[in-house]
């Protein structure tokens, strides 16, 4: 089961690489001009090293890049820019901060963020052991990452993970909250404003474990912000999207999303961050990706997207994007 879940990382990576190949990403509306080249560079560097590491995975990803549909590319674009812009806002409004990326997979956000923001004191990437060692091998064997991230490894043969003062790769099963919290407590400072990212992680976790994880993190860090992107099953009477999605994923690859139909609306999804406590103040905002497409993407940017590939079906884009959400939950403990 865990192996099947780990493989979703290749899907996320393929989607991102496809969106880059077709020119959707990086987005000029959301990037500095000098970041644009480096964005493409780090992703192709990662992919090139991946090729030497696993021909099979490389082939699989390459195949799906070559036949990427516009609906998927636009969705990947939306997911990426929406998260990126909220991450940057957080980094810009706070002094010293730390970022915890739960279920990081092959996400390479740490690269540009660590370079750009000196106030980012710690960036932690957490995932299952196999995924973390996979990422570790690629980062360590790519000069660009080794140099720019200032990676070190004193004892390579013992399987020690590459790291720097500010960047850590951590192998752990996030369903094991006790162990996860022990690690976080040892590596981060509970008093520093902390950004937690879960981009398609919680949908794979059982309800109880994901709730315990949310509760524990919110109680540990004094001030924080949680960004979470996930699918929701839909709660309208005639809406069959979620049930069909569960069936498709189960039949085609044995993949389960245990809470897709439990947290099937924006409200129910967000309710998990609604900690009832006198000591913790929370402020939650949640939008579906269709709302984000309509409110946050400038007309010039939409114009640019439309020129990249003909979008054949708008309603389909809407159906898909109304079933994905981005949550922003901010919390603060009373002093």
Partner 1 sequence: MSLDIDAVIDLLKQGKHVKEETVYTLCLRSQELLMSEANVTHVDTPVTICGDIHGQLHDLLTLFEKSGGVEKTRYVFLGDFVDRGFYSLESFLLLLCYKLRYPDRITLIRGNHETRQITKVYGFYDEIMRKYGNCNVWRYCCEVFDYLSLGAIINNSIFCVHGGLSPEINTLDEIRAIDRKQEVPHEGAMCDLLWSDPEEVDTWSLSPRGAGFLFGKSEVDKFLSTNNVELIARAHQLVMEGYKEMFDGGLVTVWSAPNYCYRCGNVAAVLRIEDDLQRNYTIFEAVQPQDGGGNAIIPTKKPQMDYFL
Ligand X SMILES: C[S@@+](CC[C@H](N)C(=O)[O-])C[C@H]1O[C@@H](n2cnc3c(N)ncnc32)[C@H](O)[C@@H]1O
Catalog residues that contact partner 1 under the rule CB under 8 A.
8, 11-12, 14-15, 64, 67-70, 72, 75-76, 79, 200, 231, 238-241, 243-245, 248-249, 251-252, 255, 302, 306-307, 309-316, 319-320, 324
Q: Which residues contact 37 (CB under 8 A, 6 or more apart)?
A: none
Spell out where 28-107 has E strands.
97-102
Binding residues for S-adenosyl-L-methionine: 79, 103, 173-174, 199
Q: Is 195 in contact with 224 (CB distance < 8 Å)?
A: yes
DSSP letter at 152?
Answer: B
- In the complex with ligand X, the residue whose CB is nearer, 9 or 225, is 9
Cβ 226 vs Cβ 328: under 8 Å = yes
173 touches which of partner 1, ligand X, none (CB within 5 to 8 A by kind)?
ligand X
Q: Is 128 in the site for ligand X (CB under 6 A)?
A: yes
The minimum distance between CB 245 and partner 1, in angstroms, equals: 6
Contact 235, 330 (CB under 8 A): no
Are residues 291 and 327 in contact, defined by beta-carbon separation less than 8 angstroms?
A: no
The structure tokens 């390579």 sit at: 156
Restricting to residues 198-217, which ones interact with ligand X according to CB under 6 A?
199-201, 204-205
Q: Is 104 in the site for ligand X (CB under 6 A)?
A: yes
Do residues 201 and 157 touch, judged by C-beta distance below 8 A? Answer: no
Q: What is the largest CA-CA distance in the chain?
A: 58
Task: Provide the annotated binding site.
Answer: 79, 103, 173-174, 199
Q: Which does 76 bind (CB under 5 to 8 A by kind): ligand X, partner 1, none?
A: partner 1
Is 107 a binding residue for ligand X by CB under 6 A? The answer is yes
Of these partners, ligand X, partner 1, none, which one is at the site of residue 241 (CB under 5 to 8 Å by kind)?
partner 1
Q: Which residues, including other chains, have CB under 8 Å from residue 206's CB and lie 6 or more apart?
A: 175, 258, 259
311 makes contact, choosing from ligand X, partner 1, none, with CB < 5 to 8 Å by partner type, with: partner 1
In the window 12-41, what residues touch ligand X (CB under 6 A)? Answer: 12
């Amino acid at each position: 089961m865990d192996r099947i879940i780990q493989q979703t990382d290749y899907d996320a990576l393929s989607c991102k690489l496809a969106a880059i190949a077709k020119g959707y990403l990086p987005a000029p509306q959301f990037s500095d001009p000098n970041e644009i080249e480096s964005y493409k560079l780090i992703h192709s560097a990662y992919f090139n090293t991946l090729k030497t590491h696993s021909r099979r995975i490389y082939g699989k990803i390459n195949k799906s890049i070559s036949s990427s549909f516009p609906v998927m590319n636009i969705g990947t674009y939306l997911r990426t820019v929406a998260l990126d812009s909220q991450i940057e806002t957080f980094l810009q409004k706070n002094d010293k901060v730390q970022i915890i990326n739960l279920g990081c997979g092959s996400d390479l956000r740490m690269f540009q963020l660590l370079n750009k923001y000196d106030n980012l004191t710690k960036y932690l990437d957490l995932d299952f052991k196999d995924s973390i060692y996979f990422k570790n091998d690629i980062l360590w064997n790519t000069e660009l990452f080794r140099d720019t991230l200032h990676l070190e490894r004193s004892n390579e043969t013992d399987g020690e993970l590459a790291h720097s003062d500010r960047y850590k790769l951590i192998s752990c099963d996030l369903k094991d909250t006790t162990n996860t919290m022990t690690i976080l407590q040892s590596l981060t400072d509970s008093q520093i404003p902390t950004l937690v990212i879960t981009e398609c992680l919680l949908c794979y976790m059982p309800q109880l474990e994901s709730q315990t994880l949310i509760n524990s993190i919110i109680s540990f860090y004094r001030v924080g912000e949680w960004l979470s992107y996930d699918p929701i099953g839909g709660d309208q009477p005639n809406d069959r999207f979620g049930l069909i999605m569960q069936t498709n994923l189960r039949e085609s690859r044995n993949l389960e999303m245990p809470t897709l139909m439990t947290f099937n609306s924006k409200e129910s999804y967000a309710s998990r961050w609604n900690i009832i406590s006198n000591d913790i103040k929370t402020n939650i905002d949640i939008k579906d990706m269709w709302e984000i497409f309509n409110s946050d993407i400038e007309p010039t940017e939409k114009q640019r997207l439309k020129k990249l590939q003909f979008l054949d079906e708008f309603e389909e884009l809407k159906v898909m994007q109304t079933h994905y959400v981005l949550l922003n939950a901010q919390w603060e403990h009373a002093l």
